[in-house]
Amino acid sequence: MNSRYAVAVLALCLAFIGQAVVSAAPKEPKDAKCPVSGKGCNPEASADFAGGKVYFCCGNCAKAFSGDSAKFAAKAHQQMVSTGQLVQKGCPFSGAPVKEGTKISVGDAEVGICCNN
């Protein structure tokens, strides 16, 4: 993946998180990836974050996250989207309603935008 493309995707993901709300009914984290190691998650290893829960593969990763959550925030937010804890409520750029047919994939999440601009 081109590094400029990766940075653009990360920026879009972070903007998407700014236009998201915490959902009350998260999915099971069995298929989620640990934001620290990238491995599969253990539902018993978790930490509260941004109004939801972030899951880890082990207690050591949970401890590393708690020590510097800002370092892992983008991946933690992406995990919260994939587990259904964060749900998009508007365009990440304008806040306007999402237009049908303008969704793109960011990681394992679909992000809708208001226009093709």
Q: What does the pLDDT look like over 93-113, one tens digit per residue?
A: 899 999 888 888 876 677 888
Residue 91 lies in a domain: yes
Confirm whether 36 is domain-assigned.
Answer: yes
117 within a domain of the structure (yes/no):
no
- In angstroms, the Cα distances linking 13 to 22, 45, 58, 64, 114 are 15, 24, 25, 22, 15
Higher pLDDT, 31 or 70: 70
Top pLDDT among 19 and 38 is at: 38
Residue 2's φ and ψ, nearest 5 degrees, are -60, 135
Is 103 in a helix, a strand, or coil? Answer: coil
How far apart CA 78 and CA 22 sit, in angstroms, is 13
How many structural domains compose the chain? 1
Domain-located, residue 116: no
Q: What are phi and psi of 76, to 5 degrees?
A: -65, -45
More confident residue, 61 or 13: 61
Please give the pLDDT value at position 28. Answer: 66
The residue range of the domain holding 93 is: 3-111
Question: Quick one: average pLDDT of 10-21?
Answer: 49
CA distance 108 to 94: 22
The answer to whether residue 12 sits within a structural domain is yes
Confidence tier at 115 by pLDDT (50, 70, 90) = confident
Res. 72: pLDDT tops 90: yes
